[in-house]
Chains A and B, each alone.
Chain A
C-alpha cells in the first residue's frame, strides 16, 4: 500500500455556508496501480489530486503516505517526500521558461545529492529514453505542446518516483500527442510506477486499472 485516505473532508466557508470540496473521501492506493480520477468540472478531481500530492491541505480525516501521517508533516519533510517518492505532471506542463530542456529535467536532481557526472548520466539517459536528445538545448517556448509534456514527464521521472501524479496531462494536447503520452504512462505503469491521473476523457481513463468518479467532492463509485 502506497497511500491511504480515510474520511477526508475539505471545505470552504462562503457566506455562512460550508461548501465541501472533498466530502468523506476514502481511497487506498496500492503499489503498481494506475488510477484515473474522473468527474465534471468542479467535482473536486484536482483538489483530490493536490491533497494526495500534499500541495493542498485537507480539513478533516486521515491521510497516510507510506506509513507516515501526512497532516503532521512539516514543509521541509514534505519537500523530502516530493524529492524521494512523487513526480508531478501538469496540464500546462509547468516547465521553467528560463531553463533549457536539459536543465529542466536536471532540476529535481539539484535538490538531491547527486554529483555532476551522475546528473549528466541520468539526464542523458532520460533524454534518450524519450527521444529528445536533439532538443536538449532548446528552451520550452521552442517546443510543441507534446514535446513540452514529454519534458515534463521526463522531469517527473528523473528522480525515480514511486508515484506519478498527473493533472490532465493531455488536456492541452491534440489527440495524437495525447495518445502518445498515455501510451507512455501505460508503459511506465507496466514498469512498476504507480500513477494517479485526473482526466476528462473516458479513453484516457481506460488506460488505468481503476477509475474513481467524483461528484461534488464525493466518490460516487470506485470500480476496478
Chain B
C-alpha cells in the first residue's frame, strides 16, 4: 500500500517538475535553516555543560547600591574566599578564589609564550571537572605547580609527557608541571584557558595582591570567586546566608553602598549575564529565543509553500481521489496517502537540507563564531531529525491531505470540477502570512543595520590610527618607561608613547570616595580612574576642551586630575578647571577637561572618568606608530627595542582599532544572521508566490484569451494579473508594520545609545516587498499576456 502511495507520489513529482523543484527547493532551504538554527541553539543551551558540576557551580557576585541605582560587580575582595570557607564551610563543596583571566608569559628554556591563564585555588581542577591527560585533580596542591592545557603542553613539549618539568611564569616564578588537561570545550566560559597556577603565586608575583592579602583588605575588589554549592544545600538557601558577608566586614564608608552578595549560577553565565535593578535581566538568551522563533517561521514559510502548491494542484489530483473513493478507498486511507506523499517530499527535502547544512557548516561557524561539528554520530540528533521530518510532514501535509481527501467523487468525476473560492482565499491568506513574516524580518534587518551604523559613527574622543597597545604582563617593565620611550621615538618608528592603567578599550578600575565643594553629602561617588603617563594625551590624541594637558614642567601635576566631560557633568561642576577634588585624603586640582573617550560599550554612555599621573600603577603601553613608515618595519623596530629592555617577553600587541571593532562583533553577528534569514525568508516566499502566480495564470488562460480578443493590451493584462498579488502584499505590509515596530523598539531598548526608528525604514521594506512581488509575478503574467489568444482558446 505504502509502496503504491510512494510510487504515485514519485510519478507526480516527476510529472510536475517545476512545482517539485519549487517545493523541494523551498522546503530544503527552510529545513536547512532550521537545522542550522537548531544546532546553534543547542550549542548555546549546552554552553558550560561540559562541566560535571554544572548545576552546582556559581560565581559569587556583588550588588552595590549608589544613589538609588543598583549595579552588579564581579570583583570580590581577597579575604572573602577564606571567610566563606571558614564560616559557611558546610554550604560549599569548593570555594575557589581566582584572578581575572588574562595573558601571562610562560617560558620553557628559550621559548616564551603569552597565554591566557589564571591564578586559582587548588579546588578549581575538581570543581570544573577538568579532563586530566596527565596528573590528577590534586595538581595545584603544591604551591609551586602549574597545570597546562593540552594545547599549551603541545606548544612547548609536543606529544611528550611534560610532568615534572620546570617552567617559568612571567619571567619570575619557577613552577613544576603537575598536570595536563584536555582543552576546555569551545562552548564554555573558560574556553581557551591555557594554564592554571596556584592562587598563592598571585600574591608572590604582585605586590598589590600581597598588600591585600597581608592586610586582609575587604575594601579592594579585584578577584573572582567561584564556588560549588554542597550537595545538601541549594543556591537559594546559600544566597540567603551569605548575602551580608561583605557588609559585615567592610568599613562604615563602604557600607553606604549596601554591598550584597549573590550567587550567579553557571547555567546563567553565558545566556543570562545582564543585571538590572537587583535582578538578573536575561541576556543573550533573548537571541536564542529570537533565532529559534525565526527558524520556526522560516520553516512555516516553506511549509506554506508546500500547502499552497499542493492545493493549487488539487484539480489535477481530484480525479484520482474520486476514482480511489469509488473503488473503495476510505477518506482515512486517502489522508494517509497524501500524508505519506508529503512525508516523501519532506524526506527528500531533508536529505538535501542535510547536504546544504554540511556544506554551509564552516561558513556558518565563522559567521556565528562557533565550533559546531555536524553531529553525524549523535543518536539524539537523528532521533530529533526523524521527529523533525514527521513534524514538518504533518505541518505541511495535513491541510492538503484533509482538503484533497474530502472531494466528493460525484463532483470530481463529472469533469467540471473547479476548486472553490474558499481554497483560493486560504491560499491568499497563506501568502499574506509569508510576506508578513518576510517584511518583519526585512524591517528588523534594516533597523539592526541602522543601529550598527549609528553606534559605529559615534565620536570616540581620540585618534585610533596607527595606535597599538601592549599589556605589561611582567614586572620587568618597571622603571624603564623613559628609556624605552626615548629609544622608540629616536628610532623613528614611534611618534609618541604612553602608559595607562586601563586599556583604551576598557575601564579596569572604578573608585569611590571623591569629595568636592558643593557635593551633596549623600551622593555616593563611583568614578572610573585611569592612571596614565604624562604623554598619554599626546599619544592617543585626545580632545582637550578646557584647561591644559599634563606637563612635566609642573611638578604639581603629579597630583593633578584631568576629567572627561561626563565626569564634569556627573559632579555638577561649573568651570571645573582649577577646582579641587579630595580623594584618598589628598587634594587634587583639576587642570583640564577632555572630550569623552569611548572605552567600554559603544551602546552605553561613557563612564565619568578621572585621569591622573601614576606611573607604577600602569598596566598598558600605548604607542602611536609613525604614519609615514610602513607598519611592519615600525613593529619590528619596536619589537627589537622592547626585547632589548624587557627580554623573554613575547611581543604581543594589539591595534586599538581592531580591539575596538570587537565591541561590535555581537551586534554585527546579529546583523549578518538577520540579513541572511531575511533574504532566505523572502526567497522562500517568492518561490511560493512564483508557483502560485503560474497556477493562477494557467487558470485564467481562457479568460485572458477572451480579454485579448476583445482588445486588452499586454499592459492591461499584466496589470490585471499583478494587481491581486500586490494587494495581498500590501495587506502583509499593513499587518507587519506594527508588529515590526513593536519588535524593533523592544530590541533597541537594550541599548542606551540607540538609533531612531524612522518612517522610511517601513517605506523601504514596503516598497521593496512590492517591487519583489511585481518582479516575481510579472514573469508569469507577461508570459500569459503575450500568448496568442488562438492557442489559449483552443484548449477548451
Contacts and interface: CB of A to CB of B under 8 A. Distances in A.
Contacts of B409: 55
Interface stretch (A15-23, A87-95, A206-214): A87-95
Contacts of B324: 96, 107, 111
11 contacts: A75-B331, A82-B327, A87-B327, A94-B413, A96-B324, A97-B319, A97-B320, A98-B8, A98-B12, A99-B8, A159-B327
A159 B4 contact: no
A112 B328 contact: yes
A58 to B, nearest CB: 12
Contact of A107 (B15, B322, B327, B408): B327
Interface in B298-332: 319-320, 322-332
Interface string A29-67: 000000000000000000000100101100000000000
B1 interface: yes
A28 to B, nearest CB: 23
Contact of B326 (A75, A80, A88): A88
Q: What secondary structure prevails in chain B residues at the interface with A? A: helix
Contacts of B331: 75-76, 79
A158 B17 CA distance: 33
A55 B330 contact: no
A26 interface: no
A95 B328 contact: no
Nearest to B414: A46
Contact of A98 (B1, B11, B325, B326): B11
A108 interface: yes
Given A55-B409, A94-B413, A76 B7 contact: no
B328 A50 contact: no
B415 interface: yes
A55 B410 contact: yes
Given A82-B327, A83-B328, A98-B11, A110 B410 contact: no
Interface in B1-57: 1, 4, 7-8, 11-12, 15
B713 interface: no
Interface residues of B, number: 26
Interface string B409-439: 1100101000000000000000000000000
Q: Which of A75, A76, A107 has the most CB of B within 10 A?
A: A107
Contacts of B326: 53, 55, 82, 88, 94
A197 B326 CA distance: 16
Given A56-B410, A99-B8, A94 B322 contact: yes
Contacts of A90: 413
B328 A98 contact: no
Contacts of A112: 328
A155 B327 contact: yes
B4 A110 contact: yes
Contacts, number: 75
B320 A98 contact: yes
Contact of A111 (B320, B329, B408): B329
A98 B324 CA distance: 13
Given A55-B410, A95-B323, A103 B328 contact: no
B67 interface: no
Contacts of B332: 76
Contact of A94 (B8, B15, B319, B330): B319
Interface residues of A, number: 30
Contacts of A88: 326-327
Contacts of A53: 326
A188 B544 CA distance: 110
B328 A96 contact: no
A111 B330 contact: yes
Contacts of A76: 330-332
A96 B323 contact: yes
Contacts of B325: 79, 82
B333 interface: yes
B575 to A, nearest CB: 90
A208 to B, nearest CB: 22
Contacts of A96: 8, 319-320, 323-324
Contacts of A79: 325, 328-331
Nearest to B8: A98
A50 B330 contact: no
Contacts of A82: 325-328
Given A55-B409, A92-B415, A111 B328 contact: yes
A132 B421 CA distance: 43
B511 to A, nearest CB: 81
Interface string B325-358: 1111111110000000000000000000000000
Interface string B263-288: 00000000000000000000000000
Contacts of A55: 326, 408-410, 413
A159 B413 contact: no
B405 to A, nearest CB: 11
A75 B330 contact: yes
Interface in B173-212: none
Interface string A68-84: 00000001100110111
A53 B410 CA distance: 10
B282 to A, nearest CB: 52
A97 to B, nearest CB: 8
Contacts of A95: 323
Q: Which of B326, B332, B413 has the most CB of A within 10 A?
A: B326
Q: Which of A79, A99, A103 has the most CB of B within 10 A?
A: A79
A197 to B, nearest CB: 16
A20 to B, nearest CB: 18
B410 A159 contact: no
A55 B414 CA distance: 11
Nearest to A84: B328
B328 A80 contact: yes
B410 A103 contact: no
